[in-house]
Structure 1
């Protein structure tokens, strides 16, 4: 894509919809939701690659998300560090906010990790649904706790 206007592609697989919000040539954000009422709308090779990855993910075939040109503008170095570490957490594994804080060298920053998860512009690909409370409780998730539960069950982690 070569324009500077925002466009949206919609990927669908099973009950999930993943909308890719493009701002010119970069991904400004992803929106994860239930697929009901949405229709498939692909415009780019990157969108087609995400669609294929989402279909594999929902089919339980594992998932290797394609590299995308993320728009990191307005994102702190701490946020990028946390999301980069989060992307290493394999499907089927849950981690706590405290665990993730320790992994990025800030063991007392569990609340800050929670803020990063709450503001994650790239859910599913940077899998904030795998982060749970210390007791294993499913805590906040933008698309809803029912979606978080579904994703964890899909991955065999629930």
Structure 2
């Protein structure tokens, strides 16, 4: 099965689509510095346009992509499905997400699902925070998580020093 990648860039963000055949196996989120835009499909162009709207602070409808869900447990699929429903500008806790996925005592298991989320941004794991609202665990880093939540209006921008 052929694999290929496309890289979408907008402002400080880079979102790389990892294709396996005709399905999206995963997405990678990173800072755009040093990255090069590389698009080859209509789906990649649609993600690029959505990422540009997101960075511009506009409401963003991410395109429907053909996800490769192979290897995800039923619980992980439920967690990701519930997370996909969390609207822009809203944060939820691991415990809340566990309860929505039908396992209210499985907050740690939700944390493991978040750590392995194959589709960041489109399945917005950056919106999951600690029970007390603290920013916790995010693969691309807490600075990125803060940036995304500020961009969505869920957090007030950090005051600049100086």
Corresponding residue of 1:86: 83
Aligned length: 155
1:143 aligns with 2:140: yes
Instruction: Tell me which stretches of 4 or more aligned residues in structure 1 moved more than 2 Å.
Output: none
2:55 aligns to what? Answer: 58
- The DSSP-based 3-state class of the residue aligned with 1:82 is helix
Residue aligned with 1:146, SS: helix
Take 2:113 and 2:59, find their aligned partners in 1: how far apart are those partners? 25
Residue 25 (structure 2) pairs with residue 23 (structure 1)? no
**What TM-score, normalized to structure 1?**
0.97
Give the RMSD, CA atoms, in angstroms.
0.5
- The alignment status of 1:98 with 2:95, answered yes or no, reads yes
The normalised TM-score by structure 2 is 0.95
Gaps of 5+ in 2: 156-162
Q: Aligned to 1:127, which of 95, 114, 124? A: 124
Q: Would you say 1:157 and 2:141 are equivalent positions? A: no
Alpha-carbon distance, 1:110 to partner: 0.3
Deviation of 1:137 after TM superposition, in Å, equals 0.5
| Structure 1 Cα separation of the partners of residues 102 and 26 of structure 2 | 26
